[in-house]
Structure 1
């Protein structure tokens, strides 16, 4: 409840033109938006799209009916932007896609790309929750607070998603363990 009130207060201030409130909204929700985008597009495109999503959200803030609904609303804008980008199939950056981890050798990058591809193949709820945890480094409670999911849902999504991910990486895409 307290987080919803804080978010609602930031949204109200941003609507009134408070640049600091806009910045706080961006800092708080950019990792969530970026994590959602990573489920659909390459990392460099996700970086660019994160900016685009927030520009769209701030420009359309007057359309948001309930200030406390901002987390779900900005995530839905991110999903639409990602799906639009995937339909275009042209990287924004014009450079070769880069895996989730820049440091390390070629083997590390290939493994990171394999992992990201496996995560992208998961159902949306698991994919987004895992990316927020693994790629963006958010804790379970942070994911819950920033997405509007309950802590229980986040725990279940992380647990089931990790089981499916392990199975997919082991060559058993159904996650049955056999």
Structure 2
């Protein structure tokens, strides 16, 4: 509860025009927004979309009814932005270039792209916590705090998501057996 109160206090301060509070909200929730967007868009696009989500959120902060609802509100905005981007900017070739470490070998890049493709094929309930854990490096309790989910649901979704990811990666092309090509 203390973290929810801290978030609510930051939102209240941001509504009063405190630029430092806006900065702290951005720093605190940027990994969540970016992680959610990675489920829908290429890395570079996710970074651009994250900036737009925060610009929109901060501009519409007065529309938020409850200060403590900010985590779920910003996550919903990120999901909508991701879905909109997916509809508008589907890659014409079916190939995306992802930002993988420059020093990574070709095999590492191929593995990373395959894993990300497999994660993107998972249901949203599993995809988001996995991206936040594996890509953004957030712990289970951090994911719960920053998304508004309960710690128990995050644990379950991470566990089930990892099981589905293992299954997907066991397939030759990284897709689950029932997923269309």
**TM-score between both structures, scaled by the size of structure 2:** 0.90
CA contact (8 A) 1:126 1:161 kept: yes
CA contact (8 A) 1:72 1:147 kept: yes
SS in 2 for 1:142: helix
CA distance in 2, matches of 1:164, 1:102: 29
Q: Which runs of 5+ in 2 are unaligned?
A: none
Within 5 Å, which residues of 2 pair with 1:81-100? 81-89=81-89, 97-100=97-100
Q: Which runs of 5+ in 1 are unaligned?
A: none
What's the counterpart of residue 68 of structure 1? 68
SS in 2 for 1:149: coil
- Shift in CA distance, 99/111, structure 1 to aligned 2, threshold 3 Å: farther
What's the counterpart of residue 103 of structure 1? 103
Is residue 151 from structure 1 mapped to residue 154 from structure 2 by the alignment? no
Is residue 135 from structure 1 mapped to residue 138 from structure 2 by the alignment? no
CA contact (8 A) 1:14 1:22 kept: yes
Within 5 Å, which residues of 2 pair with 1:14-93? 14-89=14-89
CA distance in 2, matches of 1:149, 1:78: 15
What's the counterpart of residue 167 of structure 2? 167
Q: CA RMSD in A?
A: 1.7
SS in 1 for 2:158: helix
CA distance in 2, matches of 1:73, 1:84: 17
1:97 CA displacement:
2.3
1:103 CA displacement:
3.4
1:110 CA displacement:
1.1
What's the counterpart of residue 122 of structure 2? 122
Task: Give runs of ≥4 in structure 1 deviating > 2 Å.
Answer: 99-103, 172-175
1:107 CA displacement:
1.4
CA distance in 1, matches of 2:101, 2:151: 28
1:99 CA displacement:
4.1
**TM-score between both structures, scaled by the size of structure 1:** 0.91
